[in-house]
Structure 1
């Protein structure tokens, strides 16, 4: 992607539109399915209290049957990263693209506490590989397209246009910034911009639009007590992020030992349903319920908020361990914000600042990308806190690296690595290469 020509913008812009449309269609279909399963059917049955347990248990049976007879779908991001880095493609043949779509929809429809980014990355990657095969796209161009597609997916579903390119910037050696890299970043941003256009235009065709991935705005005023709490808050956030990673590692180890998936998928469904009876915030990934939760947290006790924060982590890892497969970014954000809200209940100083830096520190430790994490939260928290979140993410990562706790973390899903380095040494002349409904909101509205 070294030539900065009109055809480069055509490729990247067209790619962004395709990715945005695919993401909107997938998310819209999941939303329609959730309305059927979690609003229309329970309303017709008289809103039985036990409904979450029944539907999640049924989900465990369906998902277990699907895995035993079809396979472990959707694929997880580590599997996808290995495949894309080794082959420069994400396979779509022999029904794999369809199986990924079906597997992802089943998990999201039945209320799993996982998010859609992992599934969408795989689905979009398969579609891009299909087009590359049919248009005879070369391997360097194919890798660029896959990276642009993955960054665009992350940008549109998190409403964070700089998230993908921020991650690309962070993984590159900016001390060796070349003209080729600068051109790629411009095209990357352009692809994300057109992706937003495709996503918004397509998703607007679906009914019942609502605001997602939002929190209640808190005061950003600084106090001397809040300033004194900055470093302890960053440290606590980093430890929470490390706890999240430790739980994820246990889930992965457990999943690798599974012989018969059906009993465990049912067990996970039952546990998910029971927790759904305790609080609807344990269901789904959290992007639709984040705003209502941050509003209600003001009236909750510290114990209840912490129970939700750590319970969200636990049920997410149970889902992953028992083959309710999906992403972790939305549950990661939800649980981190919940823990931060518990903190400001105890220390009610500079609430907006402390919540932002705790969340940024935690999530940056999990993602291992402080700048990309700050870009992710650019429109979630007030813009004036951007530098604070960046600093918190950097210091949180630094703390975890300095302590004898291990340095493993979640690999932020940018599909190809070091492609710029290869391209800069070998100048090629080729032009270029959940979600889910808010069950708590629906039950409250029905009670009204």
Structure 2
């Protein structure tokens, strides 16, 4: 009996490593296809046209996205809804895996101001559920592969192990269960908390190894620039509160815009093509006036770091605040996706603008503004800081935590206040701080 239990544990841990590797490889593959599609549309085709190409591309994109949604439904689901289902049911439906993957990529091909994390996480959760269903005869706890794979996917997408590790544990309690009940007579693997930590570590290691290994061999991937040199002096500390308030104001506006666009989308009813075309038109106009407002923001953040000193404070601030408006518009009007990468870019742009205005250390300004903005959107300061470790130095952790806490403390209008849930993923994708809210009303 002990030998059989040991064999099951060993098989489970090996399955976890393989699951993490599959999650990382799948995330890399979809991001690789995303980069190919963006390059084809905007470099090969767009390079032959003038500055007004975004108008044609975004309108065509709106038509394609709208028709696809009309035919197949509102996919992908937002990250928060995916994680809520995984936490509640221990599984995620995989019958629409192809549809989810295509729906996640289409808005990104046409310059949508959204991140890929929502669609990628849902697709990975579906794959892991499929694997778990076929291995559950070895023990009911093999169904935990869905939760493990979802966490591994988050780690790979953001290349932020701490965020991916904390997300499924956040709010873990009686509903989280360590071992799962399983059917009578099933050979279950009871995982105490220490073993669960080891399992998550194995999944993260597998995911990051596959993701980074494939990226090193074939290119691709997705990551924000890494800021390392930060100076925290008397002048910087004097500007901390003003910088954090500016970032928090942008995060507050994100939530307000999200609520307004949710209501507007609801009043328009079931008109996916019309809504997607409206979003495409607004995106195109902003893209012509402020080009950095388009796309997820990871490449644009790197480009901005090279040219921000020549742009002027007003243009940088306008870009950041326009980003917090266009992202919820895209998500609510059918260009479905995540909001993490866009809001981080918005914070970076606003931070550069404040650095140009104040003369304070640029990385300090980026840390304060971005953390306050992300904290105001997520309403969970610790999760915001863990996420921001992917681009900001550990030396700025105190600055980031204080700014994120201030952002989370700024009250929202009463109509936007909703009960938090323990979904682990932070704020809903493009939603006010409701843990189970979908991406489009």
> Which TM-score applies when normalising by structure 1?
0.81
C-alpha spacing 1:406/1:101, structure 2 compared with 1 (3 Å): closer
Residue of structure 1 equivalent to 2:71: 69
Is 1:196 the counterpart of 2:214? The answer is no
Residue of structure 2 equivalent to 1:31: 35
What is the correspondence of 1:156-167 to structure 2 with a 5 Å cutoff?
156-167=156-167
Secondary structure (helix, strand or coil) at the match of 2:161 reads: coil
Rounded Cα–Cα distance in structure 1 between residues aligned with 2:146 and 2:85: 12
**Structure 1 runs not aligned, ≥5 long:** 417-448
The offset of 1:297, in angstroms, is 1.6
Which one of 400, 404, 419 corresponds to residue 389 of structure 1?
Answer: 400
C-alpha spacing 1:158/1:85, structure 2 compared with 1 (3 Å): closer
The answer (yes or no) to whether the contact 1:275–1:282 under 8 Å persists in 2 is: yes
Q: Deviations over 1:32-90 (max 9, x none)?
A: 111211112234xx333322211111111111111112211222234434543443221
Which one of 187, 195, 210 corresponds to residue 183 of structure 1?
Answer: 195
Q: Deviations over 1:134-167 (max 9, x none)?
A: 2226997366323322222221121211111133
Residue of structure 1 equivalent to 2:93: 91
What is the correspondence of 1:39-438 to structure 2 with a 5 Å cutoff?
39-43=43-47, 46-93=48-95, 96-136=96-136, 141=141, 144-172=144-172, 180-206=192-218, 209=220, 212-214=223-225, 219-257=229-267, 258-397=269-408, 399-400=409-410, 407-408=417-418, 414=424
Rounded Cα–Cα distance in structure 1 between residues aligned with 2:331 and 2:61: 14
Alignment root-mean-square deviation, CA: 3.0
Rounded Cα–Cα distance in structure 2 between residues aligned with 1:9 and 1:135: 13
Rounded Cα–Cα distance in structure 2 between residues aligned with 1:409 and 1:366: 14
Q: Deviations over 1:262-308 (max 9, x none)?
A: 12211211222222222321211101111111232222222111110
C-alpha spacing 1:379/1:265, structure 2 compared with 1 (3 Å): closer
The answer (yes or no) to whether the contact 1:89–1:142 under 8 Å persists in 2 is: no
C-alpha spacing 1:28/1:412, structure 2 compared with 1 (3 Å): farther
The offset of 1:239, in angstroms, is 3.1
The answer (yes or no) to whether the contact 1:216–1:294 under 8 Å persists in 2 is: no
Q: Which runs of 4+ in 1 moved over 4 A?
A: 2-5, 137-140, 401-413
Question: Which has the higher relative contact order, 1 or 2, with Cα contacts under 8 A spaced 6 or more apart?
Answer: 1
Rounded Cα–Cα distance in structure 1 between residues aligned with 2:130 and 2:235: 56
Rounded Cα–Cα distance in structure 2 between residues aligned with 1:239 and 1:253: 21
Rounded Cα–Cα distance in structure 2 between residues aligned with 1:250 and 1:403: 12
Rounded Cα–Cα distance in structure 1 between residues aligned with 2:27 and 2:393: 26
Please identify, of 74-83 and 340-349, the stretch whose mean Cα deviation from structure 2 is larger. Answer: 74-83
The answer (yes or no) to whether the contact 2:158–2:390 under 8 Å persists in 1 is: no
Residue of structure 2 equivalent to 1:11: 15
C-alpha spacing 1:181/1:261, structure 2 compared with 1 (3 Å): same
| Count of paired positions | 404
Secondary structure (helix, strand or coil) at the match of 2:303 reads: helix
Rounded Cα–Cα distance in structure 2 between residues aligned with 1:104 and 1:211: 15
